Every structure is written in C-alpha cells, then in structure tokens.
Structure 1
Amino acid sequence: MKKISIYHVDAFTSVAFGGNPAGVVPDANNLTSEMMQKIAKEVNLSETAFLQTSENSHAADFRIRYFSPTNEIDFCGHATLATTWILLTELGYNNRSSITLETNVGLIEMELSSEGIMMTQLSPKLKEINSDLEHIVELVGLRIDDIDQRFACKLSYTGNWHLLVPVKTKEAVDRAKPNFEFLSQHNQMNNICTTHLFTFDSQEEGCLLYTRDFAPAVGILEDPVTGSANGALAGYLYLEGIVPSDRDYKFTIAQGHKLGRPGYVKVEILQGSESAKFKIGGKAVTTIAGIFQIPL
C-alpha cells in the first residue's frame, strides 16, 4: 500500500464544523488523474484539492487540481483556501506573506491579511442566460414574486460560470427547493458550474448579502459556502453598477446557514490604475489529519 497524507479542512469559518469542508492532499505528484478522482469519490466532500509540483515554477509555487466526487473542476474557491491553510499551518509556509497557485484557469495569488487568507480572483466576465425568468424560477423552486427584479439573472465568471439569481428575502432563499434533475440538465447544457441565489436581506449583522449555491451538474446538490460563486457574484455586483466603482469597497457574504454550517466570505474590490482587483477569502479550521492508503 502507498500511504499519502490527507487533511479535512473547514473553510470560510473560524469554528470547527462550520463553513465548507474540503479535502486536501498536499503531495499528489505521483497520483494519476484516475486515482485523484477515486480519492475524491472516497472522501466524498464537494471538492478535494491535490497539490503537485508546478512546471511553471518561476511563476507558481504549486500546481493545484480539484475533483468533486464525479469529475474534475477547473477552479474551487473554498478548496483553494483550505489548501493554503494547510501550507501555512502544517507544511512550514507560515513565514510567507503570499503563495501563488497554478490552476486550470490561470495563476491565483493567495495572501495573508487581517481578514485571514485572501485570494485574488480572475477578472470577472458577464453574459446573458438563454433561459427566461419563468424557467429559472421553476428550476430553483421559487415563485416569480420571490425574484428581486431590480437586478438581472446573469452568468458571471471568475474561473467558473455561475448562474446568479437575485431574490428578495432570506426567507425565500431558504425556501428554495430546486428540481435537481432538471437543474443539472440545464446547467450541463449551458456550461454552468453552479446556480447561486443571493439576497441583500441577509439578516446577519455585518453581512451585505446572504447566498445559497446549487451544483448538481458537478455532483453536488448544495454547496455550504462557495468561494468561486461568491467571487463571481462580487464581479457581477461591480460590473452591473450595484456596488461602488469609484472607491475601494469591502463587504461580507453569509452562506451555509440553511445547512447548519454557517460561513462568511470576505470580499474586497480594490481600485487600480487600469482595472479593479477582486479578492475573496476568510479563515479556516483543520478538523482531520490522516493517512490515505492506496493500493499499488
């Protein structure tokens, strides 16, 4: 048997058993894609991250890959946060102020701040969704009058495409009961990673928004706290002119409460000379450290 280290980390929380759990395998150099997929299925969390030596070593400290129980994911925010936490707390990188990770979608810079670990997002992109509002509402299990029609349903990207659905109240967000079979089919047809419900009725002190995230197309019915989707949401809010674009702007998003795993995503939109920079992040807690035994 080959033995490899594996960690279970709760991301976007400072309290164990909150936030979003991810698996982290810090040495995956000798693992095939097939074996990584099998490990992710066995771990059975929304994502497991695998660290490898980067061939682009002059620009990146590591290569990172992500697998859900069913397939490889191009980018995953909470697993990136969890992996960086393990590097800093378990693997001797606590003297570093930043770590750069090579992903399938490009280089992601991770840095330490007073808010915890922050990750710089890719520049956001928006596009229209080829589905009418009535169909979207049916897919997510809500009513038309639940939708906050001050804002548009759109697709947003900072590494994965997410369908963003504005909702009037937290009560409606928590009441949503998606038709997972049809939502999965819809998202696969439209190259959508997750469907992300958001409301400004957060009812959480210090939080601007409250969200829920559904990802049946990648084998996850509901993700507790979603880094990539909330990063895409930040880009949407900025590009749609919903949050200020003339100054730096920071806020917090609450997610996971419906699943009993409350988490908090810190968002920073920083103005630059040429374009804004988008960062998301938070804290993390290691709950399991163990050994995975793999047949040779």
Structure 2
Amino acid sequence: MRLPVYQIDAFTDAVFGGNPAAVVPLDAWLPDAVMQAIAAENNLSETAFFVPPGPGDEDAWGLRWFTPAVEVDLCGHATLATAHLMMNILHPGTDRVVFRTQKAGLVAVTREQGLLTLDFPARPPRLPEAIHPGLVAALGGPAPAAILAARDYLVVYDDAAVVRALAPDMAALMDIDRFAVIVTAPGDEPGVHFISRFFAPSEGVPEDPVTGSAHCTLIPYWAQRLGTDRLAARQVSRRGGALTCRLEGERVRIGGQAVLFLEGHIHI
C-alpha cells in the first residue's frame, strides 16, 4: 500500500519553527493499529489522518490524531496542518473546512486575514478535587500561584522567566494523573498577553512545541483574568509558536500560519 504523506509546520510562518505535524489523506480509515504504527514511525507530536465526508456527514471530513503512543481527543496544530494542506494544495481556493471528530464533535478551520483560524470547544479550567502530590516537584520550579485543571493540569506562575526556565523531570511527570501539564504566566514580550509550555510524556510527547488544544483551556483562563476576549499568545518551547486567540462563549478561536516542509509517500 502506498499512501501520500505531508509534513507541515504549524503556528509558524517559516519552516523549522512551530510544531511539525504529519498529515495522511485516506480514502477510508485504516485499522487503528496501522494508523498508530504510522504515527510511531513518524515520531512527531501528532500524525493526522483524514477521510472524505460519508453519507450524513454534511460535508464534514473525518479527522483523527495520533501521537507516537496514543490516539488523542483533540489536536490543534495537526488540524491546522490538515486545513493548510486542503486549502492550499489539495483544494486550493477553499476558505473553510469542517471536520467531524470522534471525541470533540465538529471543528472548523476558516481562512481569515492571512491566518487559518480553528473553531474549537472551550475547556475552562477549574479547581481540581485533588492535585497529584508529585506535580510541583516534577516540574522542578518554585511553588506556583495556582493549579487548576480541565483535561490537563493548568499550572500558573507569576513570572514568565520561571516558565521559560523549567526543566521538568519527565520520568516523574509520567505518573501525573492527567493527560498533560500546561504551565503558563503573563507575557514578557510586547503585545503578548500570556506564554505557555506543554508536557505530556505519558502520551508520547515530552514537550510539545505548540499546542492548540491547550489553548482551549488557556484562553478562557486568561480572558477572565485579563478582562478581554482577544488575546495574543506565545508557546515558548525551543521551536516556539505564535497564536491569536478569541473567546466566543463556549468556543475558542485559535489562529496561526502553517508552511509545507515535506511531501512523499508511505509504503506499508
């Protein structure tokens, strides 16, 4: 079997920045084990697979995402990469695409003022009933200002320098009782409202370069804290990435750019 594959850097305007995702167009879903094996072989934060709309799908393309270790419920950068591929290479001139996902429902991507903007569900953080006792020690920094949670822990610091300097114990984070850990602080660059980093070693992603799904939690938090529904964000991983953010009720809008790095074929 010969499958097309594209590698696209998302949330960046230049190759070697942002977060690289592999995107594999399919005519029909492959067995889960095969898609998982392809994602493991690609060894990127996520590999996206998508299929054409089926009967009753109302023009929504099927979309799934896999890390090297697991299938995930929501992924921003690989959705952005998939939309970039469809709008600019496979179906040029398209300005909006809708995807049907297994766990996040319908998500959409729209071309807006030079950006591709994700329409994703908001996941506001709340005080968790319990906090894993090893969380702060595993992160390796000082005591945070707050610890909240949605799908992931949201660990808030007052100083961006602390977030940038964290060197987590990834083995210890493997035992944390949430999908991942987001760390965040107020922005320390002109025009940037907040910064973040994202760690999910138990899911096959020690540190994700730029994480759209994390901003489903970050945007509601910072919108409420700063009193604005329009925010500029930066994820301060080694590669780094820029995101424009809006809170719209129970949805978030996450904008960014993407660039094609590689195209080829998978032989299995």
Q: What band does the TM-score fall into relative to the shorter chain?
A: over 0.9
Matches of residues 222-241 of structure 1 in structure 2 within 5 Å? 222-238=207-223, 241=224
**CA spacing shift, 1:70–1:208, aligned 2, 3 Å:** same
Counterpart Cα distance in 1 of 2:139 and 2:58? 41
Give secondary structure in 1 for the equivalent of 2:225: coil
Counterpart Cα distance in 2 of 1:103 and 1:63? 6
Contact 1:28/1:50 (CA < 8 Å) preserved in 2?
Answer: no
Deviation track 1:61-108 (CA, whole Å, cap 9, x = no partner) reads 21001111011111111000000000011101x332311101122000
**CA spacing shift, 1:60–1:129, aligned 2, 3 Å:** farther
2:255 corresponds to 1:281: yes
The CA RMSD measured in Å over matched residues stands at 1.9
Give secondary structure in 1 for the equivalent of 2:16: coil
Counterpart Cα distance in 2 of 1:57 and 1:26? 20
2:172 corresponds to 1:172: no
Residue 94 (structure 2) aligned to one of 90, 93, 96: 96
Contact 2:135/2:176 (CA < 8 Å) preserved in 1?
Answer: no
2:240 corresponds to 1:262: yes
2:182 corresponds to 1:196: yes
TM-score (norm 1): 0.84
1:138 equivalent in structure 2: 137
Q: Give the letter for the 1:279 counterpart.
A: R
2:208 corresponds to 1:209: no
**CA spacing shift, 1:130–1:167, aligned 2, 3 Å:** same
Counterpart Cα distance in 1 of 2:216 and 2:55? 25
Shift of 1:253: 0.9
Counterpart Cα distance in 2 of 1:194 and 1:133? 12
2:62 equivalent in structure 1: 63
Deviation track 1:35-63 (CA, whole Å, cap 9, x = no partner) reads 10111011000100000134464434210
Counterpart Cα distance in 2 of 1:131 and 1:115? 43
Give secondary structure in 2 for the equivalent of 1:64: strand
Q: Give the letter for the 2:139 counterpart.
A: V
2:74 equivalent in structure 1: 75
**CA spacing shift, 1:163–1:26, aligned 2, 3 Å:** same
Give secondary structure in 2 for the equivalent of 1:251: strand
TM-score (norm 2): 0.92
Shift of 1:127: 3.4
Work out the number of aligned pairs and report it: 267
Counterpart Cα distance in 2 of 1:103 and 1:277? 16
Shift of 1:20: 0.5
2:233 corresponds to 1:250: no
The percent identity for this pair of structures is: 30
Q: Give the letter for the 2:148 counterpart.
A: K
Contact 2:7/2:263 (CA < 8 Å) preserved in 1?
Answer: yes
Counterpart Cα distance in 1 of 2:250 and 2:179? 24
Counterpart Cα distance in 2 of 1:265 and 1:28? 32
Contact 2:98/2:109 (CA < 8 Å) preserved in 1?
Answer: yes
Q: Give the letter for the 1:280 counterpart.
A: I
Q: Give the letter for the 1:29 counterpart.
A: A
Shift of 1:115: 4.8
Residue 183 (structure 1) aligned to one of 167, 170, 173: 173
**CA spacing shift, 1:276–1:64, aligned 2, 3 Å:** closer
Gaps of 5+ in 1: none
2:19 equivalent in structure 1: 20
Q: Give the letter for the 1:100 counterpart.
A: V
Counterpart Cα distance in 2 of 1:47 and 1:291? 17
Give secondary structure in 2 for the equivalent of 1:5: strand
Contact 1:45/1:69 (CA < 8 Å) preserved in 2?
Answer: yes
Gaps of 5+ in 2: none
Contact 2:39/2:47 (CA < 8 Å) preserved in 1?
Answer: yes
Counterpart Cα distance in 2 of 1:55 and 1:122? 23
Give secondary structure in 2 for the equivalent of 1:227: coil
Contact 2:134/2:176 (CA < 8 Å) preserved in 1?
Answer: no
**CA spacing shift, 1:33–1:232, aligned 2, 3 Å:** same
Shift of 1:132: 4.5
2:110 equivalent in structure 1: 111
Counterpart Cα distance in 2 of 1:56 and 1:141? 51
